[in-house]
Structure 1
Amino acid sequence: MANPLMHDSVWRSKQKYEDAEAHYQQLLAGTAKPVSAKDKKSGKSVGSSIKTEIAEARQQIQKVLNSGGSGGTSGDNSQVMRRVESLEKENTDLKKVVEDMKSLVQRLENRVTKLEGGSSAPSAQAPASNKPAPAPAEDEEDDDDIDLFGSDEDDEEADRIRQERLAAYAAKKAKKPALIAKSSLVLDVKPWDDETDMAKMDEEVRKITADGLLWGQSKLVPIGYGIRKLQIGCVIEDDKISTDFLEEEITAIEDLVQSMDVAAFNKI
């Protein structure tokens, strides 16, 4: 004999069972008290029937689950089917678009290969893949006329052009004047005492000549007790003249010069 409950797929008392389940959980949590008042219409105790209602609700839920959720309407099923059909159609359209794009890319690759004269340089740089090679755009007879690896004549021509460019660059660089590093100095030349002839000292210092040395203006600066020092400027080429050279030459004037110091040194 068939169970009559198997055909009952609609839960008509769901709200009542949910309220009872909620009140039961509140009792377990201690946030509600048992209901002892009697229903005015039925006259039955509401608090005493909570556990029974909860048990019935759980049985009803289990029954619906066991029945495979067949309580849905046919309208929901038809809506799902329409949605599935729409998704399948969109998938088919997308596949068609992808195939069209692949075909377009293939035609472009064939056209580029044809315009480049069948050069193998792009294919050598491209990473290896399982993608099939594009079909040749011309007959095999035309492919025989294409030199994929170049020739010795092309290499010789490229070497000649490179050598000519290097020679032109070297000639241009040779014509360009080299930058000469120079420095501007201010020298303090001190005498022995206040009786030293400072004009003669200036004259003797300027007699020092060398390639890369150019004397400038000079003046006498008091240093105390009536003694003055000679402050003279000069410009030197760093590769030819050094401060040690100037000191040796100036202090060699022993009758007039006691010492020499570099007061200022600036690169030009």
Structure 2
Amino acid sequence: MATNAAQFLMQENVWYDKWRCEDAEKAYQEKLAGAHSGLVVQGSQSSIVNEIARARQQIQNSLSNSGQGLAVGVGVDNSEVINRLNNVEQENQALRQVAADLRSLIGALTSRVAALESASGTKPPAVAAPKAAAPSKADEDDDSDDDIDLFGSDESEDEELEAKKADLVKKYQEKKGKKPALIAKSNIILDVKPWDDETDMAEMEKLVRSVQKDGLLWGASKLLPVGYGIKKLQIAAVVEDDKVGTDFLEENICAFEDFVQSVDVAAFQKI
């Protein structure tokens, strides 16, 4: 069976002409491909040209429209800017005028103060001269002005002011000298302890209050329990710091050794 098939194939001429078929098919396919590519190229080129032309037209339109809008916008902005600049210049001129007025006013005040200080020697400005009385009719009819003194009144007023000031300073110094000096005082609370519960606390308080000195003033007192029936005497005193101190009080109270065991400062406060 296989041998018959091989013999049959060997008798067919198609196998020997295969390259011709392939060449013909290749040429046919190339011809078809060339025609199709040409159409595509031509179509694509025409579409690209149209797109480029359309893009150029859009660019020209946008440029023309933007140029017109820019011109209009610039005109509006320029007018607003010019108006604002004019307003700013006017305000600047007004401010400069105000500053110039202030400078002239300050200069006038400075010169006036300097003149007043030089006249009174850095003293309060002189009181304004009293208003002159209205001239009588007889004075108006008199044409002679020999008795008019333009400068004598200022000198007399300065002398009067100096005398008044000296009098005021003298009175102030006298008043200040009479004012009493501030005296420093303190409030002291003492704890006076007895020896035992048999100590006469009333007598001990009497002895404590017997301590007297200029600048010492005894105050209220009370008995406070310590323990085991013993009580201590707590007494207040107001002293002048320059005259009486705690050492003086402790030394003089402890001198009553039959009644007093010890003295402690419970509180000390400046008044």
* TM-score when normalising by structure 1: 0.50
RMSD over aligned Cα, in angstroms? 4.9
| Pair 1:119 & 2:122 matched | no
In the TM superposition, 1:145-160 aligns within 5 A as: 150=115, 154=119, 156=121, 158=123
Match of 2:255 in 1: 252
Shift of 1:91: 5.3
| Pair 1:240 & 2:243 matched | yes
Distance 1:195 1:83, change over 3 A: closer
Letter in 1 for 2:262: S
Distance 1:177 1:71, change over 3 A: same
Q: 2:190 aligns with which of 187, 192, 197?
A: 187
Distance 1:153 1:243, change over 3 A: same
| Pair 1:97 & 2:71 matched | no
Shift of 1:260: 0.7
Distance 1:226 1:72, change over 3 A: closer
1 or 2, which has the higher helix percentage? Answer: 2
Q: 1:227 aligns with which of 211, 230, 235?
A: 230
Shift of 1:241: 1.5
Match of 1:261 in 2: 264
Shift of 1:246: 0.5
Match of 1:204 in 2: 207
5+ residue gaps, structure 1, are 1-43, 122-148
SS of equivalent residue, structure 1 residue 250: helix
Shift of 1:175: 4.4
In the TM superposition, 1:1-268 aligns within 5 A as: 60=55, 64=59, 70-72=63-65, 75-76=68-69, 79-80=72-73, 82-83=75-76, 86-87=79-80, 89-90=82-83, 93-94=86-87, 97-98=90-91, 101=94, 104-105=97-98, 108-109=101-102, 112=105, 116=108, 119=111, 150=115, 154=119, 156=121, 158=123, 171-268=174-271
d(CA) in 2 for partners of 1:252, 1:155: 68
d(CA) in 1 for partners of 2:169, 2:53: 94
Letter in 1 for 2:233: L
Shift of 1:250: 0.6
5+ residue gaps, structure 2, are 1-38, 125-161
d(CA) in 2 for partners of 1:109, 1:88: 31
Shift of 1:214: 1.1
Question: How many residues of Structure 1 are paired with residues of Structure 2 in the alignment?
Answer: 191
* TM-score when normalising by structure 2: 0.50
The structure with the larger Rg is 2
Shift of 1:221: 3.4
SS of equivalent residue, structure 1 residue 229: strand
Shift of 1:70: 4.8
**Residue range with higher mean Cα deviation, 151-160 or 224-233:** 151-160
Shift of 1:74: 7.5
d(CA) in 2 for partners of 1:103, 1:156: 36
d(CA) in 2 for partners of 1:109, 1:256: 85
Letter in 1 for 2:90: V
Letter in 1 for 2:94: M
Letter in 2 for 1:224: G
SS of equivalent residue, structure 1 residue 79: helix
d(CA) in 2 for partners of 1:78, 1:166: 82
**8 Å contact 2:117–2:123 — kept in the other structure?**
no
Letter in 2 for 1:264: A
